[in-house]
Structure 1
């Protein structure tokens, strides 16, 4: 893992897996997350950037989209709710329901 602090990224592709970015500026960048360890993004600014989910991350998005369009809309909406909810506000997991979140 690499930590970037107060750095400006301009006109470049940035692979964010397993990195930490704090108070960085991203200008006209292609931000790529491929499904590895999640990056930590803290107080950054993004201007005119393209965000790309590649590899496993892209397949996960396709799976959730397939759930939504294939009749499991409530389950897909649960994923969206989990995305919007801070970790400390999520309800406890029920192990009898299998993997969640």
Structure 2
């Protein structure tokens, strides 16, 4: 994975896939994740910067939205809680 350190990006479209950002600043940028490779952002700052999903990542978001609307809100909410680092029991799984 490529590493970019200590850079400031202004008014740019930044594709995140395959890149690790360390101590970077993004000012009025659009961060885009396509889901083709991993990414990491450590010690970075965002200033009026947006985030978008495209390609495979967008399809995953569409699936989660459809599941949420289609009667599986509990499962989607548990997934989001896991992303937040909360300990939750996924619906349909036995406790250990």
TM band (smaller chain): 0.7 to 0.9
Deviation per residue, 1:30-78 (Å, 9 max, x gap):
1000012221110100011110000010110010011111100111112
Unmatched 5+ stretches in structure 1: 92-96
Deviation per residue, 1:70-91 (Å, 9 max, x gap):
10011111210121117xx688
**Runs of 4 or more consecutive aligned structure 1 residues displaced over 2 Å after TM superposition:** none
1:4 paired with 2:4, answer yes
In structure 2, the residue matched to 1:58 is 58
SS of the residue corresponding to residue 37 of structure 1 reads coil
SS of the residue corresponding to residue 75 of structure 2 reads helix
How many residues of Structure 1 are paired with residues of Structure 2 in the alignment? 91
Give 1 or 2: higher helix fraction: 1
CA change 1:90–1:22 in 2 (3 A) is farther
TM-score of the pair, normalised by structure 2: 0.86
C-alpha RMSD over aligned residues: 1.9
Unmatched 5+ stretches in structure 2: none
